[in-house]
Structure 1
């Protein structure tokens, strides 16, 4: 069964994916979209993580990046069942105990709905400003994941000793509701795929086209098999932009448009190649058009995919 979720608009506004209407949007729009996802059966809503954007990148990335923990906590109070995903948290920017405190509290407040998506990060100035090691960010992320597994576990006084971080005898409550907080690893580089295979409960690819995904999925499974990892891995994919029905406006060359069965036929390819969850995204000119698209997808397309939220 394929699960579907979405990254929220408004909270990050890179020119790569933001729609024009998002520039004037705010908290009320986020609430309406999150509530629609909750009602429409989406498995998760996701937010991004950047602390500060350097001027050299601001033109393309913008400086609009809501804090993921604050945003997901805000939306947790307005929703009931939809899971809350950081896609992705650049956890190497912060000490693991700080991250654990934030996300354990989020899991506690939301009744156990957190999915912790993590990634290595790519903005050098961000690391330098916060005193984190950009050049060794891959190794930093590896150790941080290990530390977070302990710090987000059941123990009130977790103990960890690594090359960069060490802690013991320091208690943190509240503990997460979940006995094991799912950690989904983001990235499509060879190192990121290996990290997802060996350390993750899920994989969040970044921009892999359809024809590349089968090779990546095969590598994930081979790496896990060789390492003797038997736990299931949630394999993700980000779909092309979607528009359910006939738009009547230019939705872009890559956008999948058409009647529900046409979209379903195309999207079924993801499940056939071994994908467990698809992250869908919709072209829209307003909040209302987006929420209409979300509802139409859940009601008319997802049942044809064998999807569930």
Structure 2
């Protein structure tokens, strides 16, 4: 059994009140770069960036309107990091024509030397779809077809071809191609439809905040669906951990936060491997960029070696 990989959702780039720390409000590009470089140096498998085009006023008090574009953000960070992979968690690819999505992400993969992981999801903000002229009610079916189209458009062929109900294209060349024959597609979401999509169309699954006790049943369903469909090959099951704080915090980090000595945190996180996860996405409580970077380094040096 391979070691449990670990990645991080970047701060600053999305500032929902569900998880953003107060210091992120005044942060910007320099902070993003510093955190990404720290994660790169600490052995993290990936940094992740979210996707929203525009937030309606009714949701802004909870979600905020700070949502960096994932392609621009990950491309910027690709240029200032060395090995860490670049994950869209998740791109709402149904909002855009798959040839446009393929052009953007193929270029990102090409420029980064093959470090892209394209995480995709159906989306949930109706007004975004309406503003862009996309049918919100059909977003699941459109995502299914979009993934098929992206398999072609992000593959090795200069002239990809796809014929479907929503999209139809052939004879249109796109270069540069991705740096690898196929960009990994991870599917986000925990609804029954999302889990099925992840199993049958994805190369991995990104759950949406499922507590630990719910993971085994959903992971078992993914394994069963893939086996029944005769699907093999590499597959990456993810999990989102509780908020973390390495060490004994001298401030209130919240009752859900997993805090304590490195060996205790590692012992708790190893349980995710036993549940069937291949990688975990972590988020640290912090009061400043400096404290977050300290947490990242402490995790990489003291917790990660104990995850095996």
> Normalising by structure 2, what TM-score?
0.99
Partner of 1:125: 127
Q: Quick one: distance in 1 between partners of 2:234 and 2:153? A: 22
Correspondences of 1:180-259 after superposition (within 5 Å): 180-259=182-261
Superposition CA RMSD, Å: 0.5
TM-superposed CA distance for 1:232, in Å, is 2.4
Q: Quick one: distance in 2 between partners of 1:183 and 1:13? A: 25
Partner of 1:33: 35
Q: Say which of 63, 67, 70 aligns to 2:69.
A: 67
Partner of 1:44: 46
> Normalising by structure 1, what TM-score?
0.99
Q: Quick one: distance in 1 between partners of 2:181 and 2:282? A: 28
Any idea what the Cα deviations from partners look like across 1:101-143, whole Å, max 9, x if unmatched?
0000000000000000000000000000001110010000000
Q: Say which of 112, 115, 121 aligns to 1:113.
A: 115
Q: Quick one: distance in 2 between partners of 1:258 and 1:202? A: 31
Partner of 1:175: 177
TM-superposed CA distance for 1:178, in Å, is 1.1
Any idea what the Cα deviations from partners look like across 1:206-255, whole Å, max 9, x if unmatched?
01000000001000000001111012210000000000001110000100
Partner of 1:10: 12
Find the residue that maps to 1:214 and give its secondary structure: helix
Find the residue that maps to 1:71 and give its secondary structure: helix
Aligned residues: 306
TM-superposed CA distance for 1:82, in Å, is 0.1
Q: Quick one: distance in 1 between partners of 2:62 and 2:179? A: 38
Q: Structure 2: any 5+ residue segments left out of the alignment?
A: none
Stretches (4+) displaced over 3 A: none
Q: Quick one: distance in 2 between partners of 1:130 and 1:156? A: 28
Q: Say which of 89, 93, 96 aligns to 1:87.
A: 89
Q: Structure 1: any 5+ residue segments left out of the alignment?
A: none
1:100 aligns with 2:102: yes
Q: Quick one: distance in 2 between partners of 1:90 and 1:243? A: 31
Any idea what the Cα deviations from partners look like across 1:124-176, whole Å, max 9, x if unmatched?
00000001110010000000000000000001111110000010111100000
Find the residue that maps to 1:46 and give its secondary structure: strand
